[in-house]
Amino acid sequence: MKPRLAFMLILASLSALGLSAQRGAAPHASAPRANAGRIPAPPPARTNPRAKPDIERGRDNAVNSTPHVNNDHWYGHDRPNDPRYRVAQPFEHGRFVNSGPSYRYGVVRIDPGLHRFWFPGGFFFDVALWDWPLCADWCWDCGDDFVIYDDPDHPGWYLLYNVHTGVYVHVMYGGVAPLP
């Protein structure tokens, strides 16, 4: 009986180890469809405060100025000195530490009226009012995965990247609160 118990304990330990390695990953994480199937590296900080947003030009000279990532290039990111992103107290509710391409999340609740969404654990974010039209039609509660990045050009802001559409929007971390 002891060998069977030892085997079951080892099996349980290995299972727990595998689950802990996926910390931060959405339980329904599927292969990204945007950016050639890759999660992009964080966007680089720009050194020129007046730098205009990069726009993507297609082969047919079509212009895409929407904030998005394609071929690991971040397009459409607003100027670093854009006054809409100035906040009196950056990171007023603390910092969201589990950000970057290693962490994928599913949204557990969305409040479109407040432009607010929650990740597991009660972490909530507010979408910038001017960016809401870019993401209002996202399928927030049907299994899409998201990545949060620190915004290198706008202190106090984060970028929410949809791994399936490739579009990103500016969000502000509101802290942790129980789901309403």
Q: What sign results for the dihedral spanned by CA atoms 15, 17, 18, 22?
A: positive
What pLDDT, on a 0 to 100 scale, did the predictor assign at position 59? 87
What pLDDT, on a 0 to 100 scale, did the predictor assign at position 24? 47
Closest CA to 159 of 15, 41, 23: 41
Alpha-carbon torsion angle 145, 134, 46, 57, nearest 10: 100
What pLDDT, on a 0 to 100 scale, did the predictor assign at position 3? 52
Give the Cα separation of 154 and 170 in Å (integer).
9
What pLDDT, on a 0 to 100 scale, did the predictor assign at position 30? 76
Backbone dihedral region of 127: left (phi > 0), alpha (psi from -120 to 50 degrees) or beta? beta
Closest CA to 154 of 38, 67, 55, 35: 67
pLDDT digit string (tens) for the chain, length 180 residues? 455 544 444 444 433 333 333 334 444 567 888 888 899 999 999 999 899 999 999 888 899 999 999 999 999 999 999 999 999 999 999 999 999 999 999 999 999 999 999 999 999 999 999 999 999 999 898 877 999 999 999 999 999 999 999 999 999 999 998 876
* Tokens describing residue 30: 């599927």
pTM (2 decimals)?
0.82
Domain boundaries in the chain? Answer: 27-80+94-176
Place of tokens 């607010």: 116
